[in-house]
Amino acid sequence: MKIHVKKGDIVKLLAGNDKGKQGKVLRVDTENYRAVVEGVNMISKATKADAKHPNGGIVKKEASVHISNLMVIDSKGNATRIGRKLGANGKLVRYSKKSGEEIK
């Protein structure tokens, strides 16, 4: 399966408790087809005391989401499917199927 999202993309969540929310992709796990999106799918994690959290406690953080539940937002603000075509420099570039413009 090809992965249509990259680190830094703005995406919209299509399913789950946070359906409809948008966020920036922070990390992509290509082996498990999962991505971590900023501010989406928040979990509470109990942590031991360390230098960062001297007293330990409960920390809120983002959990991963399967990439099939994500849709890339193009520069016009539309959720769109992604296509690949040869660019002017001879390399594959991603483009928006809805508007036809290149996605950087």
What is the pLDDT at residue 104? 81
Residues 62 and 89 in one domain: no
Residues 68 and 19 in one domain: yes
What is the pLDDT at residue 53? 80
Q: Could you count the other beta carbons within 10 Å of the beta carbon of residue 5?
A: 20
Q: Which two tokens stand for residue 43?
A: 């979990």
Residues 26 and 52 in one domain: yes
**HSE-CB of 14 using CA atoms within 13 angstroms:** 11
Closest CA to 79 of 25, 31, 14: 14
Domain that holds residue 95: 78-104
Average pLDDT for residues 62-88, to the nearest whole number? 93
Amino acid at position 76, single letter? K
> How much is the mean pLDDT over the chain?
93
pLDDT tens digits for range 2-43: 899 999 999 999 999 999 999 999 999 999 999 999 999 999
Average pLDDT for residues 39-63, to the nearest whole number? 91
Q: What is the dihedral angle through the alpha carbons of 63, 64, 69, 72, rounded to the nearest 10 degrees? A: 100
Residues 65 and 93 in one domain: no
Q: What percent of the chain has pLDDT over 70?
A: 100
Give the C-alpha distances (Å, rounded to integers) separating 25 from 46, 48, 51, 76: 24, 27, 27, 18
Residues 92 and 59 in one domain: no
What is the pLDDT at residue 7? 96
How many domains does the structure of the chain reveal? 2
